Amino acid sequence: MLSLIGSLWGVLLHTFRPRVTVQYPDQKPYLAPRWRGRIILSRDPDGEERCVACYLCAVACPVDCIALQATEDKNGRRYPDFFRINFSRCILCGYCEEACPTYAIQLTPDFEMAEYNRQNLVYEKEDLLINGTGKYPGYNFWRVAGVQIGGKDKGEAEREVPPTDVHRLLP
């Protein structure tokens, strides 16, 4: 009986404790930079699309919510013709970000994407592309990759030596 009164008193003292509730729409919670929220496609420092349409994100996606079509521009640079993420399926697992070889696809600290119409949750490339570099400033895939594209021949990438001509290999 006394222990019951003790527990009632203990509960009553909670009147003066600070509240733990974050009053959400008025008071935004802190989201860590690595929060797995809305997915974006970033650009490299030159303002070009980073995505090389390698399909690795679509393959890694456990719910198959990413659809894209690869194509090439006149410089031989691969990019997605369309890039579509169906956010009504996406589970924000971040596997696409892990799979991406060019830091193009990234998850951001934003979760406020509710819609009244289900169809509006299908984001096209122009909805996904942002104007910045996201979490990786300064990284440019084509600048470090040993792939030849228009305007950059083999051996012209950063920290790359010109290729050896095997036919003129003399001691």
Partner 1 sequence: MNIWENVVIPIIIVLGVLIVALTIAAGLIWVERRLLAVWQDRYGPNRVGPFGLLQVLADTLKLLWKEDWIPPFADKGVFIIAPGIVMVTVLMSYAVLPATEKIVVADLNIGLLFVLAMSSMGVYSVVLAGWASDNKYALLGGLRASAQMLSYEVFMGLSLMGVVLLAGSFNLKDIVEAQRHMWFVIPQFVGFVLFLIAGVAETRRLPFDLPEAESELVAGYHSEYSGMKFGMFFVGEYLGVTLISALISVLFFGGWLGPVLPPIVWFLLKTFFFICFFILLRAGLPRPRFDQLMSWGWKLMLPLALINLLVTGAVVLTLGK
Smallest CA-to-CA distance from 34 within 135, 130, 126, 146 is with 135
Window 18 to 37, contacts with partner 1 (CB under 8 A):
18-21, 23
| Cβ 26 to partner 1 shortest distance, Å | 9
Strands of 44-95 (E only): list them: 66-72, 78-86
Q: φ and ψ at 40, to 5 degrees? A: -130, 165
| Cβ 36 to partner 1 shortest distance, Å | 27
| Cβ 23 to partner 1 shortest distance, Å | 7
Nearer to partner 1, 22 or 91 (CB): 22
Write the CB contacts of 138 (distance below 8 Å, at least 6 apart in sequence): 45
Contact 134, 42 (CB under 8 A): yes
Nearer to partner 1, 6 or 132 (CB): 6
Question: What is the contact surface with partner 1 in residues (CB under 8 A)?
Answer: 4, 7-8, 10-12, 14-15, 17-21, 23
